[in-house]
Structure 1
Amino acid sequence: MKAITFAEFGDADVLELTDVPDPEVRPHDLLVRNRAAGLNRADLTHRRGGYGRANFGDSDLMGLEIAGEVIAMGSETQGFAIGDRVMGIVGGGGYAELARIDYRMAMHIPDGLDDVHAGALPEVFVTAWEALGHLGRLTSGESVLIHAAAGGVGSAAVQLAHALGARVLATADGSKREAILGFGADVAIDYKTEDFEAVVDSVTEGRGVDVIVDFVGAPYLARNIRSLNSGGRLVQVGILGGIEGAELPLDRLLYRHLQIMGTVMKSRPPAVKHAMTRRFADTWLPRFASHSLAPVIDSTFPLKNAADAHRRMESNQNIGKIMLTMA
């Protein structure tokens, strides 16, 4: 099969389309003919050598989410059949014509959802709901601040929080303000020209928000803590801004009874990943069948042009998901 590989770590130019062996089907696997695969920032880290030659359980190829058609099945799989259209999160291997996926990580693609949108759904929406619902315990009528709201997980989190009935504040580049509001945000904050802490303080009349979902890390930590309401929950999903120099206002943490939680998917044990997938699917998958929720697609690239897709992500110009497609 054709797949994207790289002989050495480096910039996007190291990516190339090569021939590699087809995946071997394990007892719990579905073998999927990929139609689309989503890009994630973890792929950039992988390409640059941040994980070494890592195998996250399924393959040492890049790619963490896929959509396509089941063409073979292991002896221990349940609930799926040859020819089913499926989507899901894989432990590597998405940047290829074929991929194996643990059937417990797979979801049936809702009728009417095309392959590109299906491939854009699993990683971002499962992660977003884990942060908002399972860890953040966000409920209708509460308020939430979502950082990096124009990205894949951020745009998914805005949609889910809005659908849940929460008041949504969201940060993004000012040029993406209208898009953020279109996803369902009530307040869009330009992180380049506005201090989100001051905006939160003004909008909430000093109370703060109930939940914050953050991808930035150290530069935002102190302001995030000061932006939380009593009993508030900060869910840390990424550290795009690094980990050095973080300041934690311990008095605020203590006297407002705040909670700080972290979440990451790719390095979690399989049973945890299975539970995360099921929590999302049981709660939200019917909403995609009715098209009341939909992944946000920024752009698509043929598999052979994966390097261009990586450059698009590195430019930080994208709104929503960048996708690879297979013939």
Structure 2
Amino acid sequence: MRAVELQEHGGPEVLNIVQAEPPEPRAGQVAIDALWAGVNFADVKARAEGYRVASLPYRPGLEVSGRIRTVGEGVEGLRVGQEVAALVDSGGYAEVVLAEAATVFPLPDKLDLRTAATLPTVLPTAHALIHEVGRLRAGESVLVHGAAGGIGTAAGQLARAAGAGAVYGVVSTDAKAEYALKHGYDEVFRTETFAEEVRRATGGRGVDLILDPVGGDTLRHGLDALAVFGRLVSFGNASGAEPWRAGQPELYAQGRSIGGFSVLALAQTAPDALRALTERALRTVSEGKVSLPVTAEFPLSDAANAHQLMGERVSTGKLLLRIPA
């Protein structure tokens, strides 16, 4: 089989196609003949910085869709030939992918394999940010950083479906602003001035919920943009800054709170909770509440160009790799 592998960390050029024997599932696993793989910013960080990479060589890729090839011992409820989406710890950029059965999800009716590949990391994350962790209530306002990305696209639509009173986004370019305004956002602000813009848009009140994958100074300014009893949910540190800590002075006076979420960490620590979350999230697609556009796709052999596009921070929506030759 073909797979994308890196022998050293660096730019997109370190991604190379290799030939390997198809892996066989161990107990509790399935092997999937992958048709599509999602491209995520975590893959870019793994390639460039070693994020979550225990050792080299390393095969990136966290989400795939395809058909089950073989089933390991003890696996129930999954069968050979079944169309599924899967969240994997790594190795998704390959023709055959191993996945723990607990993170393999049979596709609901009317959900095609190409669309399914966009969902395993993005949709459960967005659902958790809006509902399980963010606890958005009808009529409340929400601000989403990275509004034109995959998670931002889904979160804006989920917030709207939940009855949010106002859905604000934060982006870095005019093109991203235009995209976000077409996918559920009422108003879009720029990264450098979002805190001031929030106060303007809300008459000085602030927003009830902020979703922040950036960290660093962005998180600090976000706290200043929260309403009384507002919540901020951190789900990444794309800035690469040292973690910024908040305590009694920042939180107590106005009853603000900070939460956090990682779909990959949840998969490791509470797979049953992840399965229930993902099943709830997938229903929102079947019900027409969420649509995640694929804005670019690349053949597996062109993974480097997919990483180049995502690394330049100009992409919107979701990027996919097409696995079959």
TM-score scaled to structure 2, two decimals?
0.92
Does residue 129 (structure 1) correspond to residue 141 (structure 2)? The answer is no
Give 2:310's match in structure 1, choosing from 306, 313, 317: 313
> Shift of residue 123 of structure 1?
0.4
Secondary structure of the equivalent of 1:183? coil
Residues in 2 aligned to 1:135 and 1:146: alpha-carbon distance in whole angstroms: 14
Q: Could you list the structure 1 runs, at least 4 aligned residues long, displaced by more than 6 angstroms after superposition.
A: none
Task: Report the count of equivalent residues.
Answer: 321
Alpha-carbon distance in structure 1 between the residues aligned to 2:243 and 2:286: 45
The CA deviation at 1:221 is 2.2
Note the alpha carbon deviations across 1:169-218, whole angstroms, 9 max, x for none. Answer: 111122222211221111111335xx211221122222211111001111
1:1-327 matches, cutoff 5 A: 1-51=1-51, 53-54=53-54, 60-166=58-164, 167-172=166-171, 173-191=173-191, 195-244=193-242, 246=244, 248=246, 251-268=249-266, 270-281=268-279, 283-327=280-324
Residue 125 of structure 1 and its aligned partner are, at CA, apart by 0.9
Contact kept in structure 2, 1:62 and 1:94, CA below 8 Å:
yes
Q: Kindly state the Cα deviation for residue 250 of structure 1 after the two structures are TM-superposed.
A: 5.1
Kept in 2, the 8 Å contact 1:130–1:276? The answer is no
Q: State the shift of 1:286 in Å.
A: 2.5
Deviates more, 1:266-275 or 1:106-115: 266-275
Could you give the per-residue CA deviations for residues 48-88 of structure 1, whole angstroms, max 9, x where no partner exists? 24237427xxx942100010001211222222222111002
Q: Percent identity?
A: 33
- What is the CA distance between 1:271 and its match in structure 2? 4.1
Instruction: State the alpha-carbon separation in 2 of the partners of residues 107 and 212 from structure 1.
Output: 29
Q: Is the 8 A contact 2:5 2:58 kept in 1?
A: no
Contact map agreement 2:62 2:87 (CA 8 A) in 1: yes
Structure 2 residues not aligned, in runs of 5+: none
Q: Secondary structure at the match of 1:224?
A: helix
Secondary structure of residue in 2 paired with 1:122: coil
C-alpha separation in 1, matches of 2:246 and 2:277: 31
8 Å Cα contact 1:265-1:273 kept in structure 2: no
Q: Is the 8 A contact 1:158 1:185 kept in 2?
A: yes
Letter in 2 for 1:10: G
Which residue identity lines up with residue 240 of structure 2 in the other structure? G
Q: 1:75 to 1:249 in 2, by over 3 A?
A: closer
> Which 10-residue stretch deviates more, 82-91 or 59-68?
59-68
Q: Give unpaired runs (5+ residues) of structure 1.
A: none
User: Which amino acid in structure 2 is aligned with residue 170 of structure 1?
Assistant: G
The residue identity in structure 2 corresponding to 1:119 is: A
Tell me the alpha carbon deviations over residues 26-65 of structure 1, each in whole angstroms, 9 at most, x when there is no partner.
Answer: 221121100100111111121124237427xxx9421000
Residue deviations 1:91-113 (CA, integer Å, cap 9, x gap): 11100001111222121223333
Q: CA RMSD in A?
A: 2.1
CA contact (8 A) 1:97 1:326 kept: yes
Give the secondary-structure state (helix, strand or coil) at the position aligned to 1:323.
Answer: strand
Alpha-carbon distance change, 277 to 159 in structure 1, aligned in 2, over 3 angstroms: farther
Residue 142 of structure 1: CA displacement? 1.3
Find the aligned partners of 2:113 and 2:44 in 1 and give their Cα distance.
23
Judge conservation of contact 2:266–2:274 (CA < 8 Å) in 1. Answer: no
Measured after TM superposition, the shift of residue 248 of structure 1 is 4.8
TM-score (norm 1): 0.91
